[in-house]
């Protein structure tokens, strides 16, 4: 008693809730970009807390590549029902069928880059002027330069060299017609903060994050799940491994880690001692030194 300070998780929570409430106050049609990953699950949890006892006053948008883990879709539908919130699904398959994008071919083909077109089309179709995402600055070097309120021009592009200064907790969401904002309420959280918060708040997660047995293919030192979306190269063989996922992207590009951690306690212990970044398991970031910056400029998450 007598000492008035917030423990760090509470301070990060207070900051994120403030940002989410600012979004609803400053924008007409906000939405939350929901990937099914732990960061966007935490974001949904924070949104619920921010407006309780009212319901979350914006829809969740899921950009479905068609290459998701079935566990992710199952969890998404459960969560939507639980929060009684509207879900908008943008389908990459539809973008391909309509000829908006062309599917990559070859063994390392991925729909990762295609998502950007589907995402921008979906935001435009629903006239979304503020899209919240669970990206964090500690994930990747281009993201380290992101603002909480990140301005996008009428083409959905990010201009990293000409960002608005962001001071104190005064967020400027002013924009011209046709422009929109990407908002990152958990910018200041680290992977460890996210896991500690999930434990403290007892937040449900897809089973992928916990240790399980799975048929896998090891390609370029990355452990990939065997699936219909992953054509095998010659000489590759399927192995049964005990793994879990640190991030949750598309099946053909998200690498698993060998792990026996099947509880939050064990995962936190593992995160504390691990020596590689969580995006180190992502093939999409390995396409060049500034792969993330380039995708972000074009309008990626």
Q: Which two tokens stand for residue 269?
A: 């212990």
What is each CA distance from 9 to 12, 43, 45, in whole angstroms?
5, 14, 14
- Among positions 43, 120, 142, 194, the unique one binding other proteins when judged by CB under 8 A: 142
Q: How far apart are CA 217 and CA 170, in angstroms?
A: 48
Write phi, then psi, for 246 (nearest 5 degrees): -95, -30
Could you tell me how many helices (H) and strands (E) the chain has, helices first?
8, 10
Place of tokens 């099914």: 36
Is 177 among the residues that bind other proteins (CB under 8 A)? Answer: no
**Touching other proteins, residues 17-76 (CB under 8 A):** 17-18, 21-22, 24-25, 48-55
Contacts of 16 (CB under 8 A, 6+ apart): 43, 46, 185, 186, 189
> What letter would DSSP give residue 247?
S
Rounded least distance, CB 244 to other proteins, Å:
18
Q: How far apart are CA 231 and CA 237, in angstroms?
A: 11
- Among positions 91, 108, 190, 227, the unique one binding other proteins when judged by CB under 8 A: 190
- Among positions 111, 137, 180, 244, the unique one binding other proteins when judged by CB under 8 A: 137
Q: Which residues pair with 151 in a beta bridge?
A: 181
User: Does residue 248 contact residue 35 with C-beta atoms inside 8 Å?
Assistant: yes
Q: Which two tokens stand for residue 256?
A: 């698993």
- Among positions 138, 236, 262, 270, the unique one binding other proteins when judged by CB under 8 A: 138
Question: Rg for the chain (alpha carbons), in Å?
Answer: 19
What is each CA distance from 1 to 4, 5, 251, in whole angstroms?
8, 10, 50
Place of tokens 């192995």: 239
Q: Which residues pair with 89 in a beta bridge?
A: 62
**Touching other proteins, residues 145-164 (CB under 8 A):** 145, 160-161, 163-164
**CB of 167 or CB of 213, closer to other proteins:** 167
Rounded least distance, CB 168 to other proteins, Å:
5
**CB of 63 or CB of 79, closer to other proteins:** 79
**CB of 142 or CB of 217, closer to other proteins:** 142
Is 12 among the residues that bind other proteins (CB under 8 A)? Answer: yes
**CB of 138 or CB of 236, closer to other proteins:** 138
Rounded least distance, CB 55 to other proteins, Å:
7
Q: Is the peptide bond before 53 cis (omega within 30 degrees of 0)?
A: yes
Rounded least distance, CB 234 to other proteins, Å:
28
- Among positions 169, 239, 260, 263, the unique one binding other proteins when judged by CB under 8 A: 169
E strands, 34-179, are 60-64, 87-91, 130-132, 149-152
- Among positions 28, 102, 106, 168, the unique one binding other proteins when judged by CB under 8 A: 168
**CB of 102 or CB of 176, closer to other proteins:** 176
- Among positions 107, 125, 144, 232, the unique one binding other proteins when judged by CB under 8 A: 144
Is 263 among the residues that bind other proteins (CB under 8 A)? Answer: no
**CB of 67 or CB of 143, closer to other proteins:** 143
**CB of 145 or CB of 212, closer to other proteins:** 145
Residues that bind other proteins (CB under 8 A): 3-15, 17-18, 21-22, 24-25, 48-55, 137-138, 141-145, 160-161, 163-170, 172, 174-176, 187-188, 190, 192-193, 196, 200, 274-277, 280, 289-290, 293
């Amino acid at each position: 008693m007598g000492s008035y300070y917030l423990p760090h998780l509470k301070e990060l929570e207070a900051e994120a809730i403030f940002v989410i409430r600012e979004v609803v106050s400053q924008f007409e049609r906000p939405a939350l970009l929901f990937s099914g990953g732990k960061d966007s699950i935490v974001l949904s949890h924070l949104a619920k807390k921010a407006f309780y006892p009212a319901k979350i006053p914006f829809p969740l948008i899921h950009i479905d590549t068609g290459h998701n883990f079935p566990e992710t879709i199952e969890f998404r539908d459960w969560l939507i029902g639980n929060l009684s919130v509207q879900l908008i699904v943008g389908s990459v398959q539809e973008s391909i069928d309509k000829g908006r994008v062309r599917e990559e071919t070859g063994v390392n083909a991925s729909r990762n880059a295609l998502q950007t077109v589907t995402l921008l089309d979906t935001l435009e179709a629903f006239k979304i002027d503020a899209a919240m995402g669970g990206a964090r600055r500690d994930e990747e070097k281009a993201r380290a330069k992101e603002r909480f309120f990140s301005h996008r021009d009428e083409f959905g592009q990010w201009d990293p060299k000409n960002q608005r200064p962001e001071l104190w907790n005064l967020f400027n969401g002013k924009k011209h017609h046709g422009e929109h904002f990407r908002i990152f309420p958990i910018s200041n959280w680290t992977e460890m903060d996210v896991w500690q918060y999930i434990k403290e708040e007892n937040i449900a997660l897809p089973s992928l994050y916990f240790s399980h047995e799975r048929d896998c293919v090891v390609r370029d030192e990355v452990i990939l799940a065997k699936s219909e979306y992953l054509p095998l190269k010659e000489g590759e063989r399927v192995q049964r491994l005990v793994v879990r996922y640190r991030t949750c992207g598309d099946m053909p590009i998200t690498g698993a880690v060998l792990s026996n951690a099947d509880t939050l306690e064990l995962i936190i212990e593992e995160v504390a001692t691990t020596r590689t970044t969580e995006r180190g398991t992502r093939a999409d970031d390995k396409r060049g030194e500034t792969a993330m910056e380039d995708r972000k400029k074009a309008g990626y998450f």
